[in-house]
């Protein structure tokens, strides 16, 4: 535990993430045969106050759990083992992400919605001595199931998991280039220059009866998008493809009805 938590404590920048210290991970597995460490188990057989294995370490504080991810390529069951050792009913899914998100804890997601006292959530911590660090808070007596994702390196060309709505006011994927406000033709030419492919998503404003509004996007083929329409944001879909989030022109047709799309946390274990 001391080796995991205290070795090489150095501040790191939020981006880009460091590579996993594979030497430390593999050394621990070799010398301890990947044995888990549980600390503070109650005399009545209750949950431990801290737990560590070769993939992750979790420690309970007064109002939250600190989670340090050491090996984001580990089997998801190693993460679930640690969460459950400290009394949390958590399912973990390994999801493909961009290089800057590898090792990040994604969530928390409560299928069907969180209906309990208190609150539930997670927040990243910097600086971090491991691949990534986070605080997780949730009621200790919450009876439901919680789903977390752990970002794993995506294979070449594999689509990254969708981590949430894009910013319609300008989210940029291309270093040194601003896509917001440019035409589709201009941004596509820049992608061609960089050897990248383009995907297309129309950004629609969804107005509610109570006066509130939100944005949703619709994946469309290239034939649905005009060269002169305006790009609002860009986001990498995979290592070789960038999605252009486009403001629909006046001839785009009627706004479609938004409908739920299966997400990474909906997939069966």
- For residues 132 and 244, membership in a common domain is answered with no
> What range defines the domain where residue 91 resides?
2-153
The stretch 154-169 carries a mean pLDDT of: 91
- For residues 26 and 132, membership in a common domain is answered with yes
Contacts with 117 (C-beta within 8 Å, 6 or more apart), sequence order: 139
Backbone angles phi, psi at 152, to 5 degrees: -110, 160
d(CA 59, CA 61): 7
Range of lowest pLDDT (19-23, 61-65, 93-97): 19-23
Q: What is the mean pLDDT of the chain?
A: 83
- What pLDDT, in 10s, does the model give residues 76-121? 999 999 999 998 889 999 999 999 899 999 988 998 888 898 899 9
In a domain, 164, yes or no: no
In a domain, 148, yes or no: yes
In a domain, 68, yes or no: yes
Comparison of pLDDT for 261 and 35, the residue scoring more: 261
In a domain, 60, yes or no: yes
The predicted structure's pLDDT at residue 37:
59
- What pLDDT, in 10s, does the model give residues 114-124? 889 889 999 99
Under 8 Å between Cβ of 235 and 171:
yes
Please state the domain count of the chain: 2
In a domain, 268, yes or no: no
The predicted structure's pLDDT at residue 54:
93
- For residues 16 and 139, membership in a common domain is answered with yes
Instruction: Count CA atoms closer than 13 A to 31's CA, side-chain side.
Output: 7
- For residues 119 and 10, membership in a common domain is answered with yes
- For residues 107 and 222, membership in a common domain is answered with no
**Collapsed DSSP state (helix, strand, coil) of residue 82:** helix
């Amino acid at each position: 535990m001391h080796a995991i938590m205290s070795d090489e404590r150095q501040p790191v920048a939020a981006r880009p993430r460091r590579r996993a210290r594979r030497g430390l991970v593999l050394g621990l597995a070799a010398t301890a045969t990947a044995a888990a460490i549980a600390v503070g188990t109650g005399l009545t057989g209750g949950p431990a106050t801290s737990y560590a294995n070769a993939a992750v370490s979790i420690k309970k504080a007064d109002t939250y759990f600190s989670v340090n991810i050491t090996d984001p390529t580990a089997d998801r069951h190693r993460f679930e083992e640690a969460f459950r050792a400290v009394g949390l009913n958590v399912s973990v899914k390994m999801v493909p992400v961009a290089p800057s998100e590898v090792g990040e804890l994604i969530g928390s997601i409560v299928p069907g919605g969180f209906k309990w006292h208190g609150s539930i959530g997670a927040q990243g911590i910097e600086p971090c001595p491991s691949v990534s660090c986070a605080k997780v808070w949730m009621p200790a007596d919450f009876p439901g199931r919680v789903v977390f994702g752990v970002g794993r390196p995506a294979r070449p060309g594999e689509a990254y998991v969708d981590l949430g709505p894009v910013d319609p006011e300008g989210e940029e994927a291309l270093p040194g280039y601003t896509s917001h406000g440019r035409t589709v033709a201009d941004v596509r030419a820049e992608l061609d220059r960089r050897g990248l492919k383009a995907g297309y998503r129309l950004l629609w404003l969804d107005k509610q009866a109570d006066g509130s509004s939100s944005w949703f996007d619709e994946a469309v083929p290239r034939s649905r998008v005009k060269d002169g329409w305006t790009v609002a944001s860009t986001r990498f879909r995979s290592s070789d493809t960038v999605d252009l989030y486009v403001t629909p022109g006046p001839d785009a047709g009627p706004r479609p009805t938004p409908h739920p799309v299966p997400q990474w946390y909906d997939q069966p274990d």
